[in-house]
Structure 1
């Protein structure tokens, strides 16, 4: 599978406190969360499939911050956006958090970004912003 950049759009059905491993707990509102990552290792964008399997309850191991949200019983994976052979992770994450609400300190442990997780109360708002990026 090709390498690339991806954004996962998740829905959290109710307000929840979610523990993100060593990053600690966050109080999250009901709504939609866009997490941006990249996959430039040997499996490429196969990582997106791994995230989907975790969201479906077919995996338990959590490697990335988003896995804690994907594995939460009140969340579901709504949509996946990908771009092959382009490392746009930080650019897309910054544009999402500029347009939506940032959830600080998540998904950005290997870069200078504040976060790679953004929040929108309504799905349509998140999808409008994502449509301009992918």
Structure 2
């Protein structure tokens, strides 16, 4: 398995994005969100960690673990291709929106990763170019 590309990794950052590649379509039960459909392609999960960001990222990389965050349910189905950390100039919601616009993506699952805020999602889907 290839190691993901790390960009701008900084232990003092508080935000991160994880790029996950799905090779197939999947129906996955995601905690209280229930069954969700994930089309093949690239998904970008945006998260935060006030402390110990590297510990959080290492946990997200693991496949076999206790399911806690929404991303934990999706993680076993794909390969992480890139991880980026960010400083706190933006909050998690604003970062998700900026990444969505930059990547020309969409929010595929309402409430994914954003159960503690009012924004649509902290998961961005980038359509695969055929």
CA distance, structure 1, for counterparts of residue 100 and residue 126 of structure 2: 10
Q: Is 1:62 matched with 2:72?
A: no
8 Å contact 1:36–1:92 — kept in the other structure? yes
- TM-superposed CA distance for 1:2, in Å, is 3.0
CA distance, structure 1, for counterparts of residue 40 and residue 29 of structure 2: 16
For the aligned residues, what is the CA RMSD? 1.9
Match in the other structure for 1:79: 82
Report the TM-score when normalising by structure 2.
Answer: 0.79
- TM-superposed CA distance for 1:95, in Å, is 2.3
Report the TM-score when normalising by structure 1.
Answer: 0.77
In structure 1, runs of 5+ residues without a counterpart are 124-134
Match in the other structure for 2:56: 47
CA distance, structure 1, for counterparts of residue 58 and residue 87 of structure 2: 14
Match 1:110 to one of 104, 109, 116: 116
8 Å contact 2:105–2:127 — kept in the other structure? no
Match in the other structure for 1:21: 31
8 Å contact 2:17–2:44 — kept in the other structure? yes
CA distance, structure 1, for counterparts of residue 55 and residue 88 of structure 2: 13
In structure 2, runs of 5+ residues without a counterpart are 1-10
- TM-superposed CA distance for 1:97, in Å, is 3.5
Equivalent pairs counted in the alignment come to: 116
- TM-superposed CA distance for 1:83, in Å, is 1.6
Match 1:121 to one of 93, 103, 127: 127
